[in-house]
Amino acid sequence: MKLAVTAPERLVVRTTEVADPGDLVSRLPHPTALAWVRHGQGIVGWGEAARLALPGGEDRFAVADRWLRDLFANADINDTVQVPGSGPVAFGSFGFDPKSPDSVLIVPRWIVGRRDGKAWLTTIGDEPDPLALVRPPAEPTQLSWSDGTLSALAWEQAVAAAVGRIRDKRLGKVVLARDLTAQAGEPIDARVLLRRLADRFPGCYTFSCAGLVGATPELLIRRTGERVDSLVLAGTTARGIDPADDAERGARLFASAKDREEHSYAAEMVHDALAPLCAELSVPDQPELLTLPNVMHLASPVHGRLGRERSVLDVVAALHPTPAVCGTPTDIALDLIRELEVMDRGRYAGPVGWVDARGDGEWGIALRCAELDGTRARLFAGCGIVADSDPAAELAEAQTKFRAMQYALEG
């Protein structure tokens, strides 16, 4: 595996406690933003002290973990805060497919964080005035929309083909995604999207890394010392038009055999992946209902205690890809995704998050997101397909999932 590395021989890292910085997103001085924020807590960063670009491969998580361990072990670190996310941190996002060349880790030159009543500033190097506003945020203008790789009709046909394979007993579930393209008149500023997403979806993990921006409801894994936590989401319905409609939709989702089957695949896989790593593991027998501003999901919170010292990236490697974003059996589902989607997902539905020098970190699944490239944004949405799936209903679900990022772009 040939790596593209940009890094000094030795990082000089200083972390100090600071007064409450207020809104974290507003601290980002220019559009090249790194962020992981939920309910106002988290970390934001900018600048690049080090970067690793990985060309893909089944061992990309292990390669990334080794590189970071070496980088941080050789660093001169003075961290007086000592909480998860203080000290040097790498933001990262990985390609969904092992064949994807898009995985990247970035160690920012400046980080502002807030967690459990503490706030801190981390600097790498000695450049002054890290909070100077270089460029004010600018809203997207002159937006136009177009289909991505497949038209709506072609995507429905792909769903129908997937249902046929499932009914032929070739696999139990597959997750099919589609993309949309937005074109703006000027380069799109990630900070505007982060601001709108954080305000509208405070319970989601609002993220930005190397042009991938979104707000995911799905926590793949959080490691804090020995403790690990995950939130399995599979099974979705749109919100209702009023409280009575909401309640009816939620009850229907909870009772849906199709959605319960889809959810059970994902929950069982997370249990099976974490069990060998954990001395203790708790997975609920029944899902609960997670209500977000635009959709409702079946959700299963998972908690465990690691059996021995492992970085959060070790656990990410064991979990990805889950049936919530791929299907089951994994290998067959992945091959069918490659055949029917007719596109490279890039980092959509791959792990996104951060890891610090202690191996702590939080990683989500890159959902409800867009890949920014200058004036262009590529949006993604996916749906879990099982034997009872209806192509028109799945297309409607995908359209509902697009709305979060459409709102972020249009306001």
Mean pLDDT by 10 residues, the chain (411 residues): 75 95 91 94 95 91 95 96 97 95 94 94 79 76 94 97 95 96 96 96 96 94 96 89 91 91 87 94 92 89 93 96 91 96 95 97 96 97 94 95 96 87
Instruction: Return the pLDDT at 6.
Output: 81
Decide: helix, strand or coil at residue 365. strand
Instruction: Return the pLDDT at 24.
Output: 95
Instruction: Return the pLDDT at 281.
Output: 95
Are 380 and 364 spatial neighbours (Cβ–Cβ below 8 Å)? no
Domains of the chain, earliest start first:
4-410 (3.60.120.10)
Q: Alpha helices of 147-284 — where are they, by DSSP H? A: 152-167, 190-200, 243-255, 257-274
Instruction: Return the pLDDT at 159.
Output: 98
Instruction: Return the pLDDT at 373.
Output: 96
Instruction: Return the pLDDT at 7.
Output: 74
Its pTM stands at 0.93
Of 218, 262, 371, 394, which is the active-site residue? 218
Instruction: Return the pLDDT at 327.
Output: 92
Instruction: Return the pLDDT at 131.
Output: 56
Instruction: Return the pLDDT at 1.
Output: 56
Known catalytic residue: 258? no
Instruction: Return the pLDDT at 235.
Output: 87
| β-pairing verdict for 295-306 and 278-282 | antiparallel
Of 118, 127, 169, 173, which is the active-site residue? 173
Instruction: Return the pLDDT at 265.
Output: 83
Instruction: Return the pLDDT at 2.
Output: 64
Known catalytic residue: 173? yes
Are 109 and 122 spatial neighbours (Cβ–Cβ below 8 Å)? no
Q: Amino acid identity of 292?
A: L
